[in-house]
């Protein structure tokens, strides 16, 4: 009798477990791979629709959908899918600037604990579109296309005068007249030709006179480009240079007598502190050279860090310090900031100091 009861209980438990397992929403796709075949790049996007059915006995809901790359977007049924009802997942592949074969995945997660994830695939080949002249210019400002809206002269001596240029293209159906405004005194700029015919290429030519800038380190300027463009008449060109003192004329004897800056430490680690704390400290340095050391400029990598040298002119053998205040308000997590010190030391004309640590909630 006991054996019969035990067997009956076991049977009921097994039956109940199968019943519970069966009582889930179950997703079944009509297909799991979509082949677009050959599609044109100028098409912009290609969309595949995957239809599924809830073959379970309970409600089905899509929890999330993840794509394998940013070149793919997805949409899906947001509502509850009843047993026997259908839903969908769409996958969109963006073809612009992506010629060639592709195969991407879309992972669909549902509320079925036994099989929560389904992986869908889209594939195909994108044929490249025929490139026009304008397609080779990555920067568009209204109807004016440019190779870049930033002209970098990179490292320049403060005694240098240098000329560089960048290509431009009129992507408009009308002639574009170009002139310049807000031009700094150390920069001269011209355009060749002054009027660009429709679909015509030209050049903006910039001359940078570092002798007139009277500055050191990484510096930025902006030049206004005035046009008759109906979309954006006034455009901006950014010009930068990294200005360093010219030591090229120094003799070997003069170099041996030059100032020499030596920091006790080039990195300050404040460890772990509470976010919002104002951190104050100093970088100590010494002039180990034979002539006066001059601190031309000190610049932090962000506005959250204030820096001030106690002295800007340091006699030989003397020490000084660079006072730093780091305001951590509104910041979280691991921090790394830099401070650039520009000096008249021929060996270390630019020194990078580091400030780092972790901000806790």
- List, in order, residues 6 or more apart from 68 with CB less than 8 Å away: 104, 105, 106, 107
Supply the mean pLDDT for the chain: 93
d(CA 200, CA 339): 44
- At residue 104, the pLDDT reads 95
CATH class in words for 252-360: mainly beta
- At residue 23, the pLDDT reads 63
Assigned architecture for domain 134-244: Sandwich (2.60)
pLDDT band at 97 (very low <50, low <70, confident <90, very high): confident
Lowest mean pLDDT among 16-20, 234-238, 285-289: 16-20
d(CA 301, CA 309): 16
- Domain residue spans of the chain: 23-127, 134-244, 252-360
Q: Which residue has the higher pLDDT, 352 or 134?
A: 352
pLDDT at 290 over 90: yes
pLDDT at 229 over 60: yes
pLDDT band at 47 (very low <50, low <70, confident <90, very high): very high
pLDDT band at 73 (very low <50, low <70, confident <90, very high): confident
Lowest mean pLDDT among 9-18, 135-144, 304-313, 336-345: 9-18
Query: Measured between alpha carbons, how far is residue 200 from residues 165, 195, 309 in Å?
Result: 16, 9, 52
- At residue 202, the pLDDT reads 98
One fold for 23-127 and 252-360 = yes
Query: Measured between alpha carbons, how far is residue 33 from residues 44, 65, 326 in Å?
Result: 21, 16, 54
pLDDT band at 22 (very low <50, low <70, confident <90, very high): very low
Q: Look up the CATH superfamily of 23-127.
A: Immunoglobulins (2.60.40.10)
- Nearest CA among 237, 235, 238, 169 for reference residue 202: 169
pLDDT at 337 over 90: yes
Inter-residue contact 222 to 182 (CB < 8 Å): yes
Query: Tens digit of pLDDT for each residue in 319-329?
Result: 999 999 999 99
């Amino acid at each position: 009798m006991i054996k019969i009861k035990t067997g009956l209980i076991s049977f009921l438990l097994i039956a109940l477990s199968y019943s519970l397992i069966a009582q889930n929403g179950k997703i079944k796709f009509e297909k799991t791979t979509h082949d677009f075949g050959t599609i044109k790049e100028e098409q912009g996007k290609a969309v595949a629709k995957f239809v599924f059915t809830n073959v379970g006995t309970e409600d089905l809901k899509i929890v999330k959908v993840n794509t394998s790359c940013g070149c793919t977007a997805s949409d899906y049924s947001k509502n509850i899918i009843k047993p026997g009802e259908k839903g969908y997942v769409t996958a969109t592949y963006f073809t612009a600037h992506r010629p060639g074969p592709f195969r991407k995945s879309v992972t669909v997660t549902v509320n079925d604990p036994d099989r929560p994830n389904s992986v869908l695939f889209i594939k195909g080949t994108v044929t490249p579109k025929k490139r026009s002249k304008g397609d080779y210019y990555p920067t568009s400002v209204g109807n004016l296309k440019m190779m870049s809206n930033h002209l970098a002269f990179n490292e320049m001596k403060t005694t240098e005068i240098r000329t560089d240029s960048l290509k431009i293209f009129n992507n408009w159906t009308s002639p574009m007249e170009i002139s310049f405004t807000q031009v700094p005194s150390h920069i001269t700029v011209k355009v060749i030709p002054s009027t660009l015919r429709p679909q015509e290429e030209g050049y903006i030519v910039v001359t940078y006179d570092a002798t007139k800038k009277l500055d050191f380190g990484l510096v930025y300027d902006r030049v206004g480009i005035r046009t008759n463009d109906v979309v954006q008449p006034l455009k901006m060109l950014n010009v930068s240079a990294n200005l360093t003192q010219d030591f090229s004329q120094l003799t070997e004897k003069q170099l041996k007598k030059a100032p020499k800056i030596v920091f006790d430490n080039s990195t300050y680690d404040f460890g772990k502190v509470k976010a919002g704390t104002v951190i104050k400290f100093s970088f100590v340095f010494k002039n180990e050279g034979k002539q006066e050391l001059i601190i031309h400029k000190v610049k932090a990598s962000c506005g959250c860090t204030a820096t001030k040298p106690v002295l800007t002119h340091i006699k030989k053998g003397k020490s000084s310090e660079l006072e730093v205040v780091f305001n951590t308000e509104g910041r979280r997590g691991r921090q790394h900031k830099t401070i650039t010190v520009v000096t008249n030391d021929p060996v270390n004309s630019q020194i990078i100091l580091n400030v780092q640590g972790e901000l806790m909630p």
